[in-house]
Amino acid sequence: MTNATLLIVNCGSSSLKFALFDTTKGEFVADGIAQALGSKSANFSSNNAALDGHAETKQNVDIPHADHAQALSLCLKSLNETFDLEQSLVGVGHRVVHGGESFNSSIVINANVRKEIEKCSPLAPLHNPANLLGITLLEKRYPHLPQVAVFDTAYHQTMPQQAYRYAIPEKLYTELGVRRYGFHGTSHRYVAMATANSLAKPQTETSLICAHLGNGASVCAIANGESIDTSMGMTPLEGLVMGTRSGDIDPGVLPYLNNHGYSIDRIDKTLNKESGLLGLSNESNDMRTLTKLAENGHEGARLAIDVFCFRLAKYIAAMLVSIPNLDALVFTGGIGENSAHVRRQTSSHLKHLGFDLDTNANLENGDATQGVINTPSSRYKIMIIATDEERMIAQDTLNLITN
């Protein structure tokens, strides 16, 4: 008998990530990514687990100038080498970046949902059109299969107005939707659930500050299981220093650069793709690379890490204003789970506020195992919790299509 499976899809502007979830086993049995789509360096890689007499299969091929449709076709072909999708597939879960104010939870996709996602495209022009493309392609391939949209922004719809409104004319909010939406909501929601489980507390009674740190990074204040404040804004550009994004910057810099010959498109590219760790170091947007360079005396790498950790600590401190009681500060994401150096340097800025990191515990948990890394005398717990956005998408998808 074929186990029921869910296909999890994350379409980016030039990438397509996928994973296959076995609902019976409760685990992922395949994953892969097509990246640099549309360019001559486009590449596809996949990994299918050993299952039901099939050996583990891995694939890595160049697919120059392939588009999303070709990548998806290759994805399905790869999966069908091990799994009979026609027989096993019961639903598709899509990561959708921006749901605006229309969605405060995941939802089964229909014509009206598609229209609302499209309406939000101006708020995420690089992401929502790609997300819709993935939905359309899968709908053509499996017209009777239920599809679910899981929004990055939905979790933050519980933020109060004082947290999400900008101090700008009212009509910019009412007519154009200019407000703070927040992102990484699926990750923050998963970490809130996992932290509550780790602390053996109900999620509705658990409050934490979650630092999701990767190439994109954000901090979220979570009170009684709900998001009440976050560092990202109307777009994923606001907030922390990130891999290639500047994070917070004086708005006056934009007209200043424009007056000095920078077009709006060039400013957008500079702040989103050439800034952050990459811009400060002039070397790399990868924290692992920068840490090694800094250890060898590279001043740009050292500066990039210093600014990253200092700005992160400032945002964590700011979130204490938003949250009434704090159970834990939680580090997650690729950097948060794996960089003992970032955790140590960030915590050093927060020690006088009651965050006291245990040096040995911090190093021992550097392999991303879940655990407490504060000293017994610390006022607040400091923890590492590995995020699992794909599992959250799979769970939402299964719950919705079952209901």
Per-residue pLDDT of the chain (403 residues; tens, 9 = 90+): 478 999 999 998 888 999 999 999 999 999 999 999 999 999 999 998 755 555 577 899 999 999 999 999 999 999 998 899 999 999 999 999 999 999 999 999 999 999 999 999 988 888 899 999 999 999 999 999 999 999 999 999 999 999 999 999 999 999 999 999 999 999 999 999 999 999 999 999 999 999 999 999 999 999 999 999 999 999 999 999 999 999 999 999 999 999 999 999 999 999 999 999 999 999 999 999 999 999 999 999 999 999 999 999 999 999 999 998 999 999 999 999 999 999 999 999 999 999 999 999 999 875 545 589 999 999 999 999 999 999 999 999 999 999 7
Length of the chain: 403
Phi-psi region of 368 (alpha: psi -120 to 50; beta: other; left: phi over 0): left
Residue 191 lies in a domain: no
Whether residues 77 and 218 share a domain: the answer is: no
Residue 102 lies in a domain: yes
Residue 174 lies in a domain: no
Residue 168 lies in a domain: no
Amino acid at 304: A
What is d(CA 335, CA 243) in angstroms, rounded to the nearest whole number? Answer: 11
What is d(CA 131, CA 265) in angstroms, rounded to the nearest whole number? Answer: 22
**Measured on CA atoms in the order 382, 217, 253, 300, is the torsion positive or negative?**
positive
Whether residues 291 and 213 share a domain: the answer is: yes
Residue 169 lies in a domain: no
Residue 157 lies in a domain: no
Whether residues 220 and 315 share a domain: the answer is: yes
Whether residues 314 and 383 share a domain: the answer is: yes
Whether residues 213 and 357 share a domain: the answer is: yes
Write the DSSP string, 136-171.
HHHHHHSTTS-EEEEETTGGGGG--HHHH--SS-HH
Whether residues 111 and 245 share a domain: the answer is: no
Domain limit, last residue, from 151, 182, 212: 151
User: Count of alpha carbons within 13 Å of 60, Cβ hemisphere only?
Assistant: 1
Q: Mean of the per-residue pLDDT values for the chain?
A: 94
Domain limit, last residue, from 91, 116, 151: 151
Whether residues 112 and 247 share a domain: the answer is: no
pLDDT given for residue 156 in this prediction: 98
Whether residues 147 and 295 share a domain: the answer is: no
Terminal C-alpha separation, the chain: 23
Whether residues 237 and 106 share a domain: the answer is: no
pLDDT given for residue 50 in this prediction: 53
Whether residues 136 and 255 share a domain: the answer is: no
Catalytic residue, chosen from 22, 31, 152, 327, is 152
**CATH code assigned at 130:** 3.30.420.40
Residue 178 lies in a domain: no
This model's pTM is above 0.75: yes
What is d(CA 89, CA 75) in angstroms, rounded to the nearest whole number? Answer: 14
Q: Which two tokens stand for residue 383?
A: 């923890």
Residue 98 lies in a domain: yes
The residue assigned the tokens 């995420």 is 124
Whether residues 78 and 214 share a domain: the answer is: no
Task: Give the count of domains, the chain.
Answer: 2
> Is residue 152 flagged as an active site residue?
yes
What is d(CA 195, CA 77) in angstroms, rounded to the nearest whole number? Answer: 38
Over the stretch 118-139, which tens digit does the pLDDT of each residue have? 999 988 888 899 999 999 999 9
Whether residues 204 and 346 share a domain: the answer is: yes
Structural domain containing residue 13: 5-151
Domain limit, last residue, from 123, 151, 179: 151
- Name which of 118, 130, 120, 114 is nearest 99 in CA terms: 120
